[in-house]
Structure 1
Amino acid sequence: MNTPVLAPAETLRTALAGLLDGLPPKRAAQAVDRLIAHYRGATPTDAPILRDRADVAAYAAYRMPATFEAVRSALAAFADAVPGWAPDSHTDVGGGTGAAAWAVSATWEGERPVTVLDWAEPALALGREIAAAHPALRGARWRRDRIGAALTLQDTDLVTVSYVLNELTAADRSALVDAAACAARAVVIVEPGTPDGYARVIEARDRLIAAGFHVAAPCPHSAACPIAPGTDWCHFSARVSRSSLHRQVKGGSLAYEDEKFSYVAAARLPVAPVPSRVVRRPQIRKGQVLLDLCGTEPSLRRATVTKRHGPLYKEARDTDWGDAWPAAVREEA
């Protein structure tokens, strides 16, 4: 009898389930509480926040599913903009336990050379251990390197940088984005869906465009973002199954939570961005759906879809935050 092959997301959940065996729940929760403060704040570049296996195990069990889902969502939008293309090689900068490497393998089938760079050896060690459960990642290289201005990247098809820029100084952030632009054909950067995270993504987006990249997602264009600085921020949401550790740390009984993230995906190869993208959760009212859109102009606008639009109305009701919206309908200022 053949053993069923699990999808990467299921394989990852299974691999993470045993990480906390032997680690007292209270200690795991305390480690996560301390580490969350660093994740949302600013960490000096000479102080890796994951210090030992207990830190890494707790943080991986808590954060890795959310990082995986956010990066997978960004990669899915990117893949839609470059149909028929798949990376032949992948470098994950600041990848820690390798959530982005798992997300890449969930987006494009097959095996490819994968290199995960991080400055925290315990994170790399645990990432290597978890990756043994996934055939496409068993040959991955896990390399300890300081993420900053001195980092050198080998040529690769795809570079991912997820939840890393917030740990760097402004100078190191710029150097990292420039290094990724020099080394890769495609770059995907994901940050927390906060005003500060969005600001870092916009800085990176500007540098990638200046380096000759075309924005594939989420923006329908490579022009300046139409959001006036300080007035709003562009972010999206990915649904994440909550483990018992999630419920213990955050309280509540829901089986899921929504991970808010900002991102940019850009490439040197030809891209076909969507005509417009839903940039807020759609508002469903009696007989109508309100969609806040970013379009190719570039501009932000509201589209109102009513029952008189026929099949388009059903499509609007099924449309979610972050989805493409190709249709032209009545707009409100």
Structure 2
Amino acid sequence: MSVELPATLRAAIARELEGVSRKGLAERTARTSAAYRAGKGSAGVIREADDALAYALARLPATYAACASVFEEAAARAPGFAPRRLLDAGAGPAAASWAALETWPQLAELSWLDASPQFLEIAARLAAEAAEPLRAADRRRGDLTAGGADWPRADLVACSYALAEIAPERQAAVVADLWAACEGLLALVEPGTPAGFARLRKAREGLIAAGAQILAPCPHEMVCPMVGEDWCHFAVRLPRSRDHRLAKGAEVPYEDEPYAYLLAARPGLGAAAPARVLAPPRAGKPGIDLKLCTPEGVEARFVGRRDKAGHAAARRLGWGDALD
């Protein structure tokens, strides 16, 4: 399945691109990507309005797709959850807010927290003709590491692709502040890399110690069984527009975004799945091989063709799916 930006957001990006040099944006995209890979944070990368626009063109679609996938899983794990207030922490161009509103259209109050005025400004411009909660979002300039005493409380707190910019020794305090601001569900989304997973594994430990219930992707709250060079991550496919391809110097009309995530909830809000598919299922003539995370640990499970009902169910499973 491919996750596409909402039509209103695609139109907003197109308006922002009117009269802008595509070559110039591609050069900015290359520079910002190189700076992020070198470990620089947004404060040292996004310095002008066109830097924020280049980032939105190149990265917003993938961030949106990852967040949309995570929120879809959140809705499945907590079907009675109906948030009214969202805190988008480290909002950037507010991709998580757009994705959250698609999943929970009853959201009425949105707060964007980001240290970059350029990001907050482009987020507001992109939302100028969007639904009322996006147009009226409360924009707050602030550093996530400065403490959350003044952050608004929210039913849903989202922090996507932001922990990577925080020094390792300060991440635990930020996660604690995010949890303190959360009255329902906390969603953390990071790049699907070993480093991104390591940040979430550490956050998971702190959240469990603070009394959070882990809804996904984990089917348990025991010590994470992923060891060695293995790490828990998933992928979502998204289409690339012509401008998106030009900005990234790409020819393929789609990309696969690897991401890692964690859903933590106040107790009683939902329930974790009994097991989770950790890798693309491998189908062969004898049957299907599944790599699962279960309460007993990481498990390799074979479903043979002779098990007609089980095989039919396994054929419908994909990487990241829950086994209910």
Q: State the TM bucket, normalised to the shorter chain.
A: over 0.9
Matching of residue 81 in structure 1 with residue 62 in structure 2: no
Distance 2:284 2:116 in 1: 49
Structure 1: which amino acid aligns with 2:75? A
Are the structure 2 counterparts of residues 215 and 131 from structure 1 closer, same or farther at C-alpha, using a change threshold of 3 Å? same
Identify the residue that residue 206 of structure 2 maps to in structure 1. Answer: 207
Residues 125-179 of structure 1, C-alpha deviation per residue, up to 9 Å, x if partnerless?
1101111222131221111112214343222111111000111112331221010
In 2, Cα distance between equivalents of 1:79 and 1:93? 20
* One-letter amino acid matched to 1:318: R
The count of aligned residue pairs is 317
Q: Structure 1 residues 284 and 30, CA, compared in 2 at 3 Å: closer, same or farther?
A: same
Quick check: 1:19–1:61 contact (8 Å CA) kept in 2? no
Unmatched tracts of structure 2, length 5 or more: none
Q: In 1, Cα distance between the equivalents of 2:218 and 2:81? A: 19
Given that residues 187 and 267 in structure 1 are in contact (C-alpha distance below 8 angstroms), is that contact kept between their aligned partners in structure 2?
yes
Secondary structure in 2 matching 1:253:
coil
TM, length-normalised to structure 1: 0.90
Q: Which runs of 5+ in 1 are unaligned?
A: 1-6, 327-333
Q: State the SS of the aligned residue for 2:310.
A: helix
Match of 1:169 in 2: 167
C-alpha distance in structure 2 between counterparts of 1:39 and 1:95, whole Å: 17
In structure 2, what is the equivalent of residue 253 of structure 1? 251
Match of 1:131 among 122, 127, 131: 127
- Answer whether contact 1:17 1:61 (CA < 8 A) is retained: no
Q: Is the 8 A contact 1:280 1:321 kept in 2?
A: yes
Assess if the C-alpha contact under 8 Å between 1:145 and 1:151 holds in 2. Answer: no
Shift of 1:48: 4.5
Which of residues 25, 29, 32 is equivalent to 1:35? 32
Q: Deviations over 1:242-279 (max 9, x none)?
A: 12243235445322111000110101132211111111
Alignment of 1:92 onto 2:88: yes
Q: 1:16 to 1:44 in 2, by over 3 A?
A: closer
SS at match of 2:92: coil
> Alpha carbon RMSD of aligned pairs, Å?
1.8
| Contact 1:64-1:99 within 8 A present in 2 as well | yes
2:30 and 2:248 in contact (8 A); partners too? no
The aligned residue for residue 266 of structure 1 is 264
Aligned partner letter, 2:62: A
Partner of 2:105: 109
Distance 1:90 1:317, change over 3 A: same
Length-normalised TM-score, structure 2: 0.92
In structure 1, what is the equivalent of residue 14 of structure 2?
Answer: 17
Q: What residue is the counterpart of 2:141 in the other structure? A: 144
Is the contact between residue 8 and residue 105 of structure 1 (CA under 8 Å) also seen in structure 2? no
**Identity of counterpart residues, as a percentage?**
38
Cα distance in structure 2, aligned partners of 1:249 and 1:58: 8
Q: CA deviation at 1:44?
A: 5.0
Q: Could you say which residue in structure 1 is the equivalent of 2:215?
A: 216
Q: Distance in 1 between matches of 2:206 and 2:146?
A: 15
Alignment correspondent of 1:26: 23
Counterpart residue number, 2:280: 281
